[in-house]
């Protein structure tokens, strides 16, 4: 039995991941952005061990969430699922003055990765839209560019791949991978999404728990249980390091290269 923490698991893919993991006998800790959402997540996942709260749009609350996770003890796997979509029509600023999409989709997984005690496996939820992400790191906060919700989302999903691959390089004792769950009909994906909802959570659950040799790999990009091609720039070590450095500068949290 594995112990797994899933961010953003009050609904959508995170909720479905929790249900599958509990059904398979694993211990699951769910998460919501505030106390009520966390309570809702726990009620919606009968058998879950606990629920934690923390608003991932806030740097300070994300740090506090990491401390709460560590307070529960060691985890075998963490699935970074929480995200907002590509529909924001204008730059929505957070309490820290960051774009909402960047704060939740890009920076929060970085902060949590740095501050939560290292698990054996890390799964980062990306998207096929990462292939349209901007590989330049000079305007992560959208201060120069004209806002585009679609572009901001694509950038953030590229950031998730960069983070997964950087972690895989630096932490040789951790399986760290990125996943495209497909375009599935969740609240974020919308009712017109072409992929099957039941396929959306399967790869994340498999990477978090399976002992199949195909799952015991690191620095890979998966879609529906199979490795898939990713934007080649995501494998650029200099770009990965640049992203880590930018996140450190924005958050004040340093990546622990040696643990």
For residues 99 and 257, give the distance between their C-alpha atoms in angstroms, rounded to a whole number: 27
User: Which residues are part of the catalytic machinery?
Assistant: 153, 157
Residue with tokens 């080649």: 232
Taking phi over 0 as left and psi of -120 to 50 as alpha, with beta for the rest, 54 belongs to: left
Q: Which helix (H) or strand (E) holds 77?
A: strand 77-80
Q: Are strands 3-6 and 77-80 parallel, antiparallel or unpaired?
A: parallel
CA terminus-to-terminus distance, the chain: 25
What is the DSSP secondary-structure string of 185-254? -STTT-TT--S-GGGTTHHHHHHHH---TTTS--S-EEETTEE----GGGG-HHHHHHHHHHHHHHHS--
């Amino acid at each position: 039995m594995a112990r797994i923490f899933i961010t953003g698991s009050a609904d959508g893919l995170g909720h479905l991941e929790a249900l599958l993991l509990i059904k398979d006998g694993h211990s699951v800790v769910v998460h919501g952005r505030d106390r009520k959402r966390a309570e809702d997540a726990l009620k919606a996942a009968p058998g879950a061990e606990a629920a934690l709260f923390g608003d991932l749009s806030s740097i300070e609350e994300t740090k506090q969430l990491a401390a709460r996770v560590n307070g529960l003890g060691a985890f075998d796997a963490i699935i970074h699922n929480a995200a907002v979509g590509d529909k924001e029509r204008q730059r929505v600023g957070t309490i820290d003055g960051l774009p909402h999409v960047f704060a939740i989709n890009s920076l929060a997984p970085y902060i949590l990765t740095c501050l939560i005690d290292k698990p054996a496996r890390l799964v980062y939820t990306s998207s096929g839209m990462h292939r349209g992400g901007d590989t330049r790191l000079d305007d992560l906060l959208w201060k120069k560019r004209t806002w585009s919700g679609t572009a901001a989302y694509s950038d953030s999903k590229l950031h998730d791949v960069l983070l997964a691959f950087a972690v895989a390089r630096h932490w040789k004792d951790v399986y760290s991978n990125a996943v495209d769950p497909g375009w599935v009909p969740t609240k974020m994906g919308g009712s017109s999404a072409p992929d099957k909802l039941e396929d959306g959570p399967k790869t994340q659950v498999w990477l978090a728990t399976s002992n199949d040799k195909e799952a015991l790999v690191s620095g890979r990009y998966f879609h529906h249980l199979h490795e898939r091609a990713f934007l080649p720039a995501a494998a650029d070590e200099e770009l990965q390091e640049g992203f880590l450095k930018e996140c450190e500068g924005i958050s004040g949290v340093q990546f622990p290269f040696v643990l």
